[in-house]
Amino acid sequence: MQVTLQQETLVPSWRRWVSIALPVAAVSTFLLGVLYRNVAMMAIGAVALCALWRSVGVAAAAKVHQLVSRRGAQLPSQVRAEITRRRHAEVPGSDPDSPEPPRHESPAEHRARKAMRKPTATSDLVQTMIDQGRYSLLLRHETASQLSDEELAEVLAVLDDQMSVVPAGRVLLGEYAERANWGSAPVSADCVGLVHIEGCYLDRFCVTNEQYQHFVDDCGYEQFQLWPEEALPALFEFVDRTGVPAPAGWHNGQHLEGAEQLPVVGISWYEACAYARWVGKRLPTDAEWTKAGAWPVETSPGRVSQRRYPWGDTFESRKAALWASGGRGPVPVDSFELGASLGSVYQLIGNVWEWTSSSLDATSRDATSSNDGHSMQVLHGGAFNTYFENQATCHFRSGERPLARRNNIGFRLALSFDVIADQELNDTESSEEPPAAIEE
């Protein structure tokens, strides 16, 4: 036992002297090379120092790992279990035995953590997509086949709850519809203002601040593939009051507190398009938007009538958020239920103007053009500050530059039938015949 102990003490002592002598020799060789300007000696000394430094670093790391392992092994099993439990606790201080008071997440922190959470199963991914309003992506042909029957039924239920069917058929647009509504001569079936649309879905509500917040939290402004190419030069101008990429009226990338269910405003046409791509939808066309509100119906063979307002042909201030209603700002998107269309689409009239995918035709009598010569996008519906009643109809069209970010312009989205995997959904498409004439 005595010999063994002596050997164990002598070996470390010998190694200690070697570990001291070798660095001294390496440094001396390098300095002598510098003194006598001998490149070979300098190189030998430098290489020796590098080798020693590397070996010392590896040895030190191994020693630290050994000490940590021994320390962990010496911990009682109860202590190790407690450390593991606290490391995996989602909210620090939530343990009642912890001296720290529980800390509650702010809404912004909750949204950020929820967006960054990695799903652990298909069901988690489905729920995340639904929560973000991206459920339409789950109904694409390439993804719907991977869902279970229960998951597909859940997604379809969300689709039915959030979107309304706009049946296929013809609709009269702009001034031609106004002439028909005011009792002018019936419009012939070959009128240029009479267009046919395919069936589609349309959001029942305008996109809210809460929904758009998911897009901002997911760094949508940095996903260049979502943006039209012509918008890229102006992309860094789409910022809020604090210079953070977000709608114009927001602060530090967050909407105002209590404004979750208000329609998102202060966004350009390009921002609306980027959000639409992110959720797997698109902006509605001028004709689709008009048909959802006017809802042409056949009153006699070959003759149809379409409404001036979603609720009928008579203006009623209590059914829309307009200047006449007494409001001076946007209201929640589910307000004014009495003004909903036959398809239960809310606030097609009032609250905020709505972007569409259509450009104003310079040859149209009711179209306008921007002063700088750039194209303008069709706006529909009027807003909370719309004073004239004739501007708040299903047929009135206004226009604005795509880069405009007004505090009274929002949007809602559409979804074509042909992108839905379940072909049975397409059977709801209407089979209206082209009318011979349009009358009041």
How does the average pLDDT of the chain come out, rounded?
Answer: 77
Is the pLDDT at 414 greater than 60? The verdict is yes
- Closest C-alpha to 396, from 280, 295, 293: 293
Which amino acid is it at 416? S
For the stretch 243-263, pLDDT in tens is: 999 999 999 999 999 999 999
Distance CA 88, CA 74 (A): 22
Is the pLDDT at 99 greater than 50? The verdict is no
Q: How far are the Cα atoms of 58, 208, 311, 349, 350 from residue 391, in angstroms, in the given order?
A: 77, 23, 16, 10, 10
Q: Answer with the residue of higher pLDDT: 435 or 328.
A: 328
Q: pTM here?
A: 0.67
pLDDT at 261: 96
Find all residues with CB under 8 Å of 50, minimum gap 6, and list them: none
Beta strands 409-410; 187-188: pairing state: unpaired
Degrees, nearest 5: CA angle 388-394-400 = 70
For the stretch 24-35, pLDDT in tens is: 777 777 788 777
Q: Give the per-residue SS3 of the chain.
A: CHHHHHHHHHHHHHHHHHHHHHHHHHHHHHHHHHHCCCHHHHHHHHHHHHHHHHHHHHHHHHHHHHHHHHHHHHCCHHHHHHHHHHHCCCCCCCCCCCCCCCCCCCHHHHHHHHHHCCCCCHHHHHHHHHHCCCHHHHCCHHHHCCCCHHHHHHHHHHHHHHEEEECCEEEECHHHHHHHHCCCCCEECCCCCEEEECCEEEECCCCEHHHHHHHHHCCHHHCHHHCCHHHHHHHHHCECCCCCECCCCCECCECCCCCCCCECCCCCHHHHHHHHHHHCCECCCHHHHHHHHHCCEEEECCEEECCCECCECCCCHHHCECHHHCCCCCCCCCCCHHHCCCCCCCCCCECCEEEEEEECCCCCCCCCCCCCCCCCEEEECCCCCCCCHHHCCCCCCEEECCCCCCCCEECCCEEEHHHCCCHHHHHHCCCCCCCCEECC
Q: Answer with the residue of higher pLDDT: 104 or 304.
A: 304
Q: Identify the bridge partners of residue 409 per DSSP, sorted by sequence position.
A: 353
Tokens 């001294």 identify what position?
Answer: 24
Distance CA 221, CA 232 (A): 10
Is the pLDDT at 85 greater than 60? The verdict is no
